[in-house]
Structure 1
Amino acid sequence: MADRIAVNDLRRHAISTETAVRTSVERVLNSGWYVLGQEVEAFEREFSDYCGVGHCVGVASGTDAIELGLRALGVGRGSRVATVANAGCYTTTALMALGAEPVFVDVDRDAKLMDLGHLKQILSEAALDAVVVTHLFGLLHDMESILDLTARAGVPVFEDCAQAHGARRGGRHAGSFGAAAGFSFYPTKNLGAVGDGGAVVTGSADVAGQVRRLRQYGWESRYRVGVSGGRNSRLDEVQAAVLRAKLPLLDGWNRRRRDIAARYTREIHDPRVRCPAVHGEEYVAHLYVVVTEDREALRAHLAEAAVMTDVHYPVPDHRQPVLTGAGGPVAALPVTDELSASIVTLPCYPELSDEEVTRVIAHVNAW
């Protein structure tokens, strides 16, 4: 049997970046300073410059970035926040931690992003305190249209950029459109650390200052807690140093991901498999997700050919037991439900060889 093709292969990624990563880690070890030091400060400057915003605050994870970023925007207990339900429950988890109420918006069947018509309807029905826009699978949403709707309602927008590092529209990067944005640096991300990590980016000095306080116990100054809702959520020096080493390589990796995705879309011809559109720089192909009515048959066929697949994500937020267990009404999200039953993720990462991409295409078409 041919060699197994993984959905993602972090070992290959580690080999390709080994020298730069080892040098970065050794620099931290030799410094004797491991938390909130020069590496974090340098990465925050470099990443904020990359995103085209004034401020970046490193935190411990992408989910913390959502929670602390929203808290800095004034979201708290009783707040109503619009979000999608097809993005792995990460934003919903943050909202529950804040005591806020998720208001679920259905998604567009093709883009799989927040449906603008449904968002407009929700904005017209009752007041919202914020909207979280998730750039799912690496596709940057049409932020001008989103902001046009939310500005008229006076509602701030938080961007969830966990899967969209480097995506661009009109020369602007993901994370530069909303009042603030959250990034994850989990190892599988387009820009990944060697452990957990995250960041909040924003153009507001006030929001950035609030997140800096919240990430370290709510300190106004050392050992003086002046802000409620704080915690220990700090990006450590090792992760920051690794991210600094990888950041200059991100755009090249994204181009490779986009090339692989474009080949899939152009060359997969099985009529039972619906592929995403070919996109430009607004798409960084974090995940390549197709739709089929017989998901398990396709996955079994590909597994037999040593092509691994995954499902991102099989249980939408509005059907998670943590929400449905209370016995309340389940949101009506027909497209979200349809997609959750039919999506399949194919291998897509920069280290895939052209021959492996050809194999994946051939095996899908042979189904």
Structure 2
Amino acid sequence: MRRARRAGAAAALLALAAAAGAAPRSARADSAALRVDPWRVEVRASASPAVARLGERITLRWTVRPRTPVRARIGAPASGGAFHWSGFEARPAGVRDGRWPRGEEGVVGGAVPGLEARADLQVFALGDIAVPGPALEIDDGRGRRVHRLPMVRVTIVPVVAANDSAADLRPARGPLAAPWWERVPWRLVAAVALLGALAVALVVGWRRRRRRAAAAAAPAAPRARRDPFAEALAELAALRRLDLPGQGRFDEHALRLTRIARRVLETVAAAARPGDSTPEIVEHLVGTAFDGGEIERVEGLLRFWDRVKFARAPITVAEARAAEDAVEDLIRRHAPAPAAPTAPGRAA
């Protein structure tokens, strides 16, 4: 009897122990399924390579396959701490061209069997590292719920092991040389350029001063004495050759005769000044070498030419020729001895 009782007690204890051990295993299974019903959603995660060096790129892949049609979306993981994510991409799984069917974007478990995602990860910490999965949003018609994809463990080892005495290390190298514009002593270049410019300015100034001194030391060439009466006769002869009255250009002819006569009057009567009007010239001629009758003739000629120039007074060719003769007579009467050369005859 005692043996039977002991056997029954042992069996009861074993049953209790089995029941106690089964409950934790079920809890661990629910935890691994991340609170997603395993009968409705199948989730897988992988990392390649599982053992990587510090900072080496690791490719992580996740696959979500619902057993019934649901709307699912995998969010991009965020970098932070020892993790640096890049190249995240999510697309429908089991579809030939990788595109969602029209009108079924985001729906998996039907025409699109599942959803897959990949991302590149760089880990900057050593040891056995647990990498959390990205967020998974599922909407099965009862509202949107957010879950977390399974955690993946990777092992990160140093780039060069501490006990690796045969590591092929690169030789030590100095810093890169600075670019040429940073190596040029610009202050020295500017100082040399300034000195060069100063030297050129000194040489140019010395040569100019030397030329001026040589020009001052050289005797000035004698200038021929200007004969205003000869110049007036030559200008009158040139005017006669133009034959302006014969071309009907009486105003231009009167303008040139006035200029010749004014030059002679300014030479003979020093009181007359360039720019004087006809009344002012007549006023300045009083008390000079011109007598009263000659002043009246000069005044008549000037006023007649003013009417021709400004008022377009009528004039004939004969009157224009007579005006030329009057100017020539004025020049010859007041030209000093020896007499000026005879002016060529007027054009026929």
Which has the higher Rg, Structure 1 or Structure 2? 2
Structure with higher strand content: 2
Q: Which has the higher contact order (CA 8 A, sep 6+)?
A: 1
